[in-house]
């Protein structure tokens, strides 16, 4: 006889996390690498695609000591000009009246950094019983195509919640992840959590949050006080 799984009781959760004054030590933390394929569950099972990075203690020593759970911050993707979500930096926009003739391959724009809000999990995803620790990033943007192999930089600013494995089913897990997305957007909207001028954050187009607030649309130059220059720095 099979016993039905009893749903976990609702847990009150704050809609904004971390202090209004900005990130506190040990944050911000940095992580970077090339996007690799993951478990294939994000898009197919959850409807929440993720970009995976290798968990490499040599490159990111702090990852061995940080507790498992959900974090938030900004992701910067080096998208090539051939990607449908590529947005050329202002310096490479063609001038009015410029020739529309095809450019030689050597003069075509190179990959440029695109900055988005993000939430990510670091841990074992106990709902699925993973044995290996993973770093799975949900970039808060609806992409028109995959970007496996692209360079990805993460500026991790704070902790959202501990990871859980006591969900009654996928619907509860998805609801919690969508709430994570809404928490991240609201938390990043405060000036000390918003990049300084010079870093453009692309927002909107993601199927996340509760559909009420904090989703944002379009793009915006940083108007806050957060030093996020590393996300777009060359080299």
List % helix, strand, coil for the chain (3-state, nearest 5).
15, 25, 55
Inform me whether the pLDDT recorded for 29 exceeds 90: yes
Place of tokens 């988005």: 116
161 — pLDDT class (breaks 50, 70, 90): very high
Q: What is the average per-residue pLDDT within 222-229?
A: 90
Report the distance separating Cα 81 and Cα 33, nearest Å: 19
DSSP the chain: -PPPPPPPPP----SS-S-TT---TT-SEEEEEE-B---S-IIIIIS---EEE---TTT-GGGGTSPSEEEEEEEEEEE-TTSTT----GGGSPPTT---SPPPGGGS---EEEEEEEEEEEE--TTTT-SS-EEEEEESS--SS--TT-EEEEEEEEEEEE-----SSHHHHHHHHHHHHHHHHHHHTSGGGSBPTT-EEEE-----S-SSSS---EEEE--SSB--GGGG---
Q: Which residues pair with 187 in a beta bridge?
A: none
213 carries an active-site annotation: no
Answer whether residue 2 shows pLDDT above 50.
no
pTM of the model: 0.81
φ and ψ at residue 141, rounded to 5 degrees: -160, 145
Residues contacting residue 126 through CB under 8 Å, at least 6 positions apart: 163, 164, 165
Report residue 171 as tokens.
Answer: 């619907």
Q: How many CB atoms lie within 10 A of CB 36?
A: 13
Q: Are 204 and 215 in contact (CB under 8 A)?
A: yes
Domain range 29-80+110-227, CATH architecture: Beta Barrel (2.40)
Express each pLDDT in 111-125 by its tens digit: 789 999 999 999 887
Structure tokens at 97: 């009246």
DSSP, collapsed to helix, strand or coil, labels residue 92 as helix
User: Which of the residues 32, 45, 64, 136 is marked catalytic?
Assistant: 136
First to last CA, the chain: 60
Q: Please, which pLDDT band fits residue 206 given cuts at 50, 70 and 90? A: very low
| Domain range list for the chain | 29-80+110-227
215 pLDDT higher than 90:
no
101: pLDDT strictly greater than 90: no
């Amino acid at each position: 006889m099979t016993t039905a799984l009893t749903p976990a009781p609702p847990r009150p959760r704050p809609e904004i996390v971390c202090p209004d004054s900005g990130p506190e030590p040990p944050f911000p933390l940095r992580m970077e690498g090339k996007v690799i394929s993951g478990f294939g569950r994000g898009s197919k099972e959850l409807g929440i695609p993720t970009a995976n990075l290798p968990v490499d203690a040599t490159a990111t020593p702090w990852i061995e000591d940080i507790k498992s759970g959900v974090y938030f911050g900004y992701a910067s993707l080096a998208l090539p000009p051939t990607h449908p979500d590529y947005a050329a930096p202002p310096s490479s926009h063609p001038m009015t009246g410029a020739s529309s003739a095809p450019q030689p391959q050597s003069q075509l724009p190179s990959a440029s950094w695109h900055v988005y809000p993000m939430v990510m999990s670091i841990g074992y995803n106990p709902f699925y019983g993973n044995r290996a620790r993973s770093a799975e990033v949900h970039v808060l943007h609806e992409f028109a195509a995959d970007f496996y192999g692209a360079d990805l930089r993460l500026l991790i600013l704070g902790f959202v919640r501990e990871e859980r494995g006591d969900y009654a089913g996928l619907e509860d897990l998805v609801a919690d992840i969508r709430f994570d997305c809404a928490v991240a957007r609201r938390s990043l909207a405060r000036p000390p959590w918003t990049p300084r001028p010079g870093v453009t954050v692309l927002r909107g187009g993601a199927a996340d949050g509760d559909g009420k607030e904090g989703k944002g649309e379009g793009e915006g130059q940083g108007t806050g006080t957060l030093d996020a220059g590393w996300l777009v720095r060359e080299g």
